[in-house]
């Protein structure tokens, strides 16, 4: 299982590196006067990310409750810092980044991993007892509220869903999730009322041609990339939509470019790699030796797979547009680093099983 997981993750990252170069070449030429700024940075991000994964895979602190507690509260402080003028950087309407010279940090990405680790450790203390604990909801709601203030609905949803997977596996009753579902519907309506642009996105999701040059633009251009790809695509590097039709194609909509250049065959191959990754990750989780390891491994796997589902759903028009990267593949240091950190945690417990 660990070999299948590791090979799938490595292949997805290598494919991502190739398509970050292809998708971002013209965008980089226009905006940075060179065709390779994204692949150079992504190569650096990948090296750092794999090193972080190795540290978590080999280090004893990955199973340590104190490590996850400290990491969780550091990410909370970073989420607060990102909202301070002069520290936080606004991009695409969201104040979600902290500038670090030529690079940037997105705390919302790191808190997803930190919350899963902290929550799994907290559940360990409840093993054999009733899992319900008010502190679990405080752990989830605190970063969720801070992320929504940026605002970043996509990251908040991924984090909450991953946390709820842990609650479900820990034994929270179905009735609890039913009640929570109705509360979530009410909260979703409130979020739309608080920010009317979200209602515009819903309208564009239903009928993107209602505003083809505004809120429906990205969705339409994404479909214009996917549909002509046919069975085998236009060939690597031959995307048409990357020529400023699809904004920043190396980021959230990179799967559209992959489908355009490699067609149905290539896009399906990518999805199959994610399916293998999912099966292998949950295979590792089932084979873990203790309660905390199982919850943490399943939580990390859920985060990666749900984010994949959300991204592919958005670019294919099945879900409303929201800013979510494709794990292992999209351009971005924070996203790639946290994805590989989650992979490192999963591999830590996969190898630990063989030494217990």
pLDDT per position as a tens digit, 166-178: 999 988 888 888 8
Report the distance separating Cα 82 and Cα 77, nearest Å.
9
Domain count, the chain: 1
3-state secondary structure the chain: CHHHHHHHHHHHHHHHHHHHHHHHHHHHHHHHCCCCHHHHHHHHHHHHHHHHHHHHHHCHHHHCHHHHHHHHHHHHHHHHHCCCECCEEEECCEEEEEEECCEEECHHHHHHHHHHHHHHHHHHCCCCCCCCCHHHHHHHHHHHHHHHCCCCHHHHHHHHHHHHHHHHHCCCCHHHHHHHHHHHHHHHHHHHHHCHHHHHHHHHHHCHHHCCCCCCHHHHHHHHHHHHHCCCCCCCCCCCCCCCCCCCCCCCCHHHHHHHHHHHHHHHHHHHHHHHHHHHHHHHHHCCCCHHHHHHHHHHHHHHHHHHHHHHHHHCCCCCCCCCCCCCCCCCHHHHHHHHHHHHHHHHHHHHHHHC
Give the confidence band of 356 by pLDDT, cuts at 50, 70, 90.
very low
Mean pLDDT, the chain, as a whole number?
A: 88
Q: Containing domain of residue 169, as a range?
A: 2-355
pLDDT tens, 235-257? 999 999 999 888 889 999 999 99
pLDDT tens for 147-206 read 988 888 889 999 999 999 999 998 888 888 888 788 878 877 776 666 666 677 777 778
Q: Lowest mean pLDDT of 7-21, 121-135, 312-326, name the range.
A: 121-135
Say yes or no to pLDDT of 280 above 90. Answer: yes
Within 10 angstroms of residue 210's Cβ, the number of other Cβ atoms is 12
**Mean pLDDT, rounded, for 226-239:** 92
| pLDDT value, residue 66 | 94
- pLDDT, one tens digit per residue, over 100-117 is 877 789 999 999 999 999
Per-residue pLDDT band for 355 (boundaries 50, 70, 90) equals very low
pLDDT on residue 259: 96
């Amino acid at each position: 299982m660990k070999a299948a997981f590791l090979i799938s993750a490595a292949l997805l990252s290598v494919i991502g590196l190739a398509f970050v170069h292809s998708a971002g070449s013209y965008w980089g030429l226009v905006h940075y006067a060179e065709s390779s700024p994204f692949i150079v940075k992504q190569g650096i991000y990948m090296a750092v990310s794999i090193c972080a994964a190795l540290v978590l895979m080999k280090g004893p602190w990955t199973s340590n409750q104190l490590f996850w507690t400290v990491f969780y509260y550091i990410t909370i402080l970073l989420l607060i810092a990102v909202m301070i003028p002069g520290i936080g950087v606004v991009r695409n309407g969201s104040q979600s980044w902290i500038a670090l010279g030529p690079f940037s940090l997105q705390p919302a990405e790191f808190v997803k991993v930190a919350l899963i680790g902290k929550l799994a450790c907290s559940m360990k203390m409840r093993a054999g007892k009733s899992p319900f604990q008010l502190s679990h909801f405080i752990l989830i709601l605190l970063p969720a509220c801070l992320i929504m203030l940026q605002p970043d609905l996509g990251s908040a949803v991924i984090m909450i869903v991953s946390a709820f997977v842990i609650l479900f596996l820990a034994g929270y009753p179905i009735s609890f999730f039913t009640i929570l579902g109705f509360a979530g519907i009410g909260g979703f309506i409130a979020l739309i009322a608080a920010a009317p642009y979200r209602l515009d996105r819903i309208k564009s999701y239903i009928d993107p041609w209602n505003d083809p040059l505004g809120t429906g633009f990205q969705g339409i251009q994404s479909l214009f990339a996917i549909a002509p790809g046919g069975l085998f695509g236009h060939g690597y590097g031959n995307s048409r939509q990357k020529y400023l039709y699809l904004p920043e194609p190396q980021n959230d909509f990179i799967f559209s470019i992959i489908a355009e250049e490699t067609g149905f065959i290539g896009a399906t191959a990518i999805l199959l790699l994610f399916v293998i990754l999912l099966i292998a990750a949950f295979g590792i989780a089932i084979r873990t030796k203790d309660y905390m390891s199982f919850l943490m491994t399943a939580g990390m796997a859920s985060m990666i797979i749900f984010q994949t589902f959300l991204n592919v759903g958005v670019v294919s028009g099945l879900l409303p547009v929201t800013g979510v990267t494709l794990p292992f593949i999209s351009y971005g240091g924070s996203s790639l680093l946290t994805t590989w950190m989650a992979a490192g945690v999963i591999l830590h417990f996969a190898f630990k099983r063989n030494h217990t």
